[in-house]
Structure 1
Amino acid sequence: MPQFFLNKRLILLLVSIIFLVALIGFSLQERDKLTWPEQFVKDSVGWVQSIFHRPSQSLAGFFNNINEIKHTYEENKLLKEKLDAYVVLETEAQALRKENEELREILDKTESLDQFESIQATVINREPSLWYDLITVNKGSQHGVEANMAVITAKGLIGKVKNVSAYHSTIQLLSSPDRKNRISAYVQSVKNEFFVIEGYDEEKESLLLKEIPYEIEIEEGQQVLTSGLGGVFPRNLLVGEITEVVADNYGLTKTAYVKPAADFYEIQNVIIVERKMEAVDEEGDGS
């Protein structure tokens, strides 16, 4: 009995192997049509794939979009940092170009002041409450600066030295409201006539050239220069240009508004000047 079952199992195994080999051989044959089991399996697999394919693609696309958004954010952040750095560099470059241009003008002006002793200085302090009154520069008595020396920029006269310490000086601007802040000046093309600049009109941003006799012809566009008669300001330093002439209340004299050649609002570098040969003080105010 056991021998019979053993032979039966062997025969069953052989039949199974023969059937499997037959199926393999059958499947390897080129056919135009699939058998119904093959069709069923293929359709079932395709149906399952179609169910899971779209969600998996959507999920993969979602994560890809997240990665792209993160990459774009980091790239934008980097570009913004580079742009901010570029703006800072461009601002610094413009400031340096402006300072370089101003220093070149100062140098050219210094070389043209052969008749003067000149000292180049830089503004180091300017209080907002005294913006049009006083400035402080980085040169003092140790550099040869003395009180009442004239102070100019490359554009024109701005004021005089008010007081001096060893390494710093305070400059009083022409726009200062101090009543003693007076300048002896003349108008170009008007011969042998000298006037006084006294006062500053903040609204018109102009110096006041006062006590002009009514009969003297003064016109807009004429330049005003220092006369050198006061012994403080050297002669022929440019003050500004006449922009308006008005008569006083009695019609005996006139006042001219003089637009300063120098920019009183923005002052970075200055030249302190003194004549090599002192002139005789012909005015009591020392200007």
Structure 2
Amino acid sequence: MSFFRRKRLFSILLALIILVGLIGFSLMNRDQRTSIEEFFQDSFGWAQMIVLKPINYLTDVVSNIDDMKNMYDENRVLKENLGQYQKVLYEVQELRKENAELMRALEKSESIRDYTPIHATVIARSPEKWFKQVTIDKGIQDGVQKDMAVITAEGMIGKIHSASQFTSNVLLLNGFDRSNRIAVNVDLSDSDQDARGFILGYSEERNQLLLEFTEYYDEIPEGEFVFSSGLGGVFPDGLEIGQIDEVSTDQYGLTQIAYVQPSANLDDLRHVIVVDRDIETVFDDDGEDEVEN
């Protein structure tokens, strides 16, 4: 081996020894570092900060965009779920209301045994102001006939105005006039007798029924209930119609009248009951018909 080649090999070995020594020296646990080490450490730290800062910024921007996208998707899903929840909640409330109405109608049917109830559902309402009628889904095939009383669990709402084979039109109480009058009794709690009269119409100004008494009564308290009397054979007796709100006289001061608040809500009708009563005829001693009950 030539002199120059051995000298080169020796220099390489010496450099490796010095490098290893420097690495080992730098890895030693020392309280203080040399100025050169601090310089290189600070330079590397600043260079790392300069390089990583834009990278971290871009990473944060991309991450924020992904978060916003995820938030938008989550918000859309939440809105859809909220809309579905509100729809289900509304349906549940409607079903509960309908179930309560059906239960009250069933209780009403069981509490009154003088007639056969025909349960029906309101399927349409007349939009005209002067034709205050509703259409139900029962007709002649179901036993419905003209002039039958129609009630809800709260009270009477009207009568059958016309009937076809499968549907019928109901004239509501707020459409009654003198040609559709109802014979009624007022239960006077402080008296042994009942006050008698007729429902002769509806006051549009007060939104109440107009009751005209057949005679003058000294005292008729407000809040007394009004029931059908059954006279005339059109409506059965005992159907609740409303409560007396005010007692007065007509414009001439000759006839005692009262304003009656209907017990049933005439503006919100769904399930109704048609009163199918068997009319019994009572004969007098001569064999002629006298009174219909």
TM-score range, shorter chain: 0.7 to 0.9
Contact 2:140 2:163 in 1 (8 A): yes
Q: Which residue is 2:58 aligned to?
A: 59
CA shift for structure 1 position 185: 1.1
Structure-2 separation of matches of 1:109 and 1:130: 30
Structure-2 separation of matches of 1:64 and 1:113: 72
Change (3 A) 1:231 1:282: farther
Deviates more, 1:258-267 or 1:54-63: 54-63
CA shift for structure 1 position 76: 2.5
CA shift for structure 1 position 253: 0.9
Change (3 A) 1:266 1:131: farther
Whether 1:175 and 2:174 are equivalent positions in the alignment is yes
Q: Which residue is 2:286 aligned to?
A: none
Structure-2 separation of matches of 1:244 and 1:45: 98
- Residue among 8, 32, 55 paired with 2:4: 8
Contact 1:116 1:275 in 2 (8 A): yes
- Residue among 169, 192, 205 paired with 1:203: 205
Deviates more, 1:69-78 or 1:94-103: 69-78
Whether 1:135 and 2:134 are equivalent positions in the alignment is yes
- Residue among 192, 196, 211 paired with 1:194: 196
Q: Which residue is 2:277 aligned to?
A: 275
Note the 1:176-255 alignment, pairs <5 A. 176=175, 178-189=177-188, 191=193, 193-255=195-257
SS in 2 for 1:160: strand
Equivalences, count: 280
Deviates more, 1:69-78 or 1:220-229: 69-78
Structure-2 separation of matches of 1:132 and 1:21: 114
Q: Which residue is 1:163 aligned to?
A: 162
- Residue among 20, 23, 28 paired with 1:24: 20
Contact 1:152 1:271 in 2 (8 A): yes
Change (3 A) 1:98 1:279: farther
Contact 2:233 2:279 in 1 (8 A): no
SS in 1 for 2:211: strand
| Structure 1 unaligned residues grouped into runs of 5+ | none
Structure-1 separation of matches of 2:121 and 2:53: 74
Q: Which residue is 1:120 aligned to?
A: 119
> For residues 63-97 of structure 1, what are the alpha-carbon distances to aligned partners after superposition, in whole Å with 9 as ceiling and x for unaligned?
33222232223222222222222111111111111
Contact 1:140 1:164 in 2 (8 A): yes
Give the percent of matched residue pairs that are identical in Structure 1 and Structure 2: 43
Q: What is the letter of the counterpart of residue 221 of structure 2?
A: E
Structure-2 separation of matches of 1:143 and 1:279: 24
Contact 1:212 1:255 in 2 (8 A): no
Contact 1:229 1:279 in 2 (8 A): no
Deviates more, 1:203-212 or 1:225-234: 203-212
Contact 2:195 2:213 in 1 (8 A): no
CA shift for structure 1 position 128: 2.6
Change (3 A) 1:39 1:179: same
SS in 1 for 2:201: strand
- How well do the aligned residues superpose, as a CA RMSD in angstroms? 2.7
- In the superposition, the TM-score normalised over structure 2's length comes to 0.85
CA shift for structure 1 position 227: 1.1
Q: What is the letter of the counterpart of residue 18 of structure 1?
A: L
SS in 2 for 1:20: helix
Deviates more, 1:205-214 or 1:107-116: 205-214
Contact 2:143 2:276 in 1 (8 A): no
- In the superposition, the TM-score normalised over structure 1's length comes to 0.87
Q: Which residue is 2:285 aligned to?
A: none
Structure-2 separation of matches of 1:31 and 1:100: 84
SS in 2 for 1:46: helix
Structure-2 separation of matches of 1:197 and 1:228: 13
Structure-2 separation of matches of 1:153 and 1:240: 12
